[in-house]
């Protein structure tokens, strides 16, 4: 897998097909753990990485859609880390150390993130910077 350098550390990119309809929003509370990067900082880092890499990994129509509608409907959202990450990254994911962020557009009627452009798994360990992205594929 290619490894890319970003402002948030090393990021491994792997494109897998999934549909936005299979992603759902969970209302959960996240508590910060001492010595780990805060969840707010994880969201910021994930969004920065997404912006840096989106044009190279999304379809041009999705880049245009996201760019045009982000101010009104865009979101980077921390969600419960799904159990499928181990099969994508090749190791067991400690849900306390890794966080999942989804970036996409919010449905104005349901107030749910229903057009997901990327799922990002980000390490909260400041000594082990890691990010793995699953990009939306049509």
Domain that holds residue 86: 3-135
Q: Is the C-alpha dihedral spanning 73, 110, 63, 44 positive or negative? A: positive
Total domains in the fold of the chain:
1
- Of 9-23, 29-43, 83-97, which range is least confident? 9-23
Per-residue pLDDT tens over the stretch 42-83: 999 999 999 999 999 999 999 999 999 999 999 999 999 999
CA distance linking residue 115 with residue 92, whole number of Å: 28
What pLDDT was estimated at residue 138? 72
Can you tell me the distance from the alpha carbon of 54 to that of 69, in angstroms, rounded to the nearest whole number? 15
Q: State yes or no: pLDDT of 6 exceeds 70.
A: no
Rounded to 10°, the helix 39-57/60-73 angle is: 150
Q: Which CATH number belongs to the domain containing residue 70 in this structure?
A: 3.10.450.140
Of 6-20, 56-70, 93-107, give the lowest mean pLDDT range.
Answer: 6-20
Q: Residue 120: pLDDT above 80? A: yes
Task: Please state, rounded to an integer, the average pLDDT across all residues of the chain.
Answer: 81
Q: Is the pTM above the cut of 0.85? A: no
């Amino acid at each position: 897998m290619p490894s890319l350098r970003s402002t948030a550390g090393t990021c491994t990119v792997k494109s897998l097909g999934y549909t936005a309809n299979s992603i759902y929003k969970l209302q959960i509370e996240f508590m910060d753990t001492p010595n780990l990067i805060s969840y707010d900082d994880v969201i910021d880092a994930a969004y920065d990485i997404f912006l840096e890499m989106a044009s190279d990994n999304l379809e041009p129509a999705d880049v245009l859609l996201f760019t045009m509608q982000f101010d009104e409907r865009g979101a980077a959202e921390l969600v419960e880390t799904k159990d499928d990450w181990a099969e994508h990254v090749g190791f067991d994911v400690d849900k306390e150390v890794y966080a999942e962020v989804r970036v996409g557009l919010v449905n104005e009627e349901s107030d749910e993130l229903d057009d997901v452009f990327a799922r990002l798994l980000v390490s909260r360990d400041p000594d082990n910077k890691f990010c793995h992205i699953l990009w939306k594929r049509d």
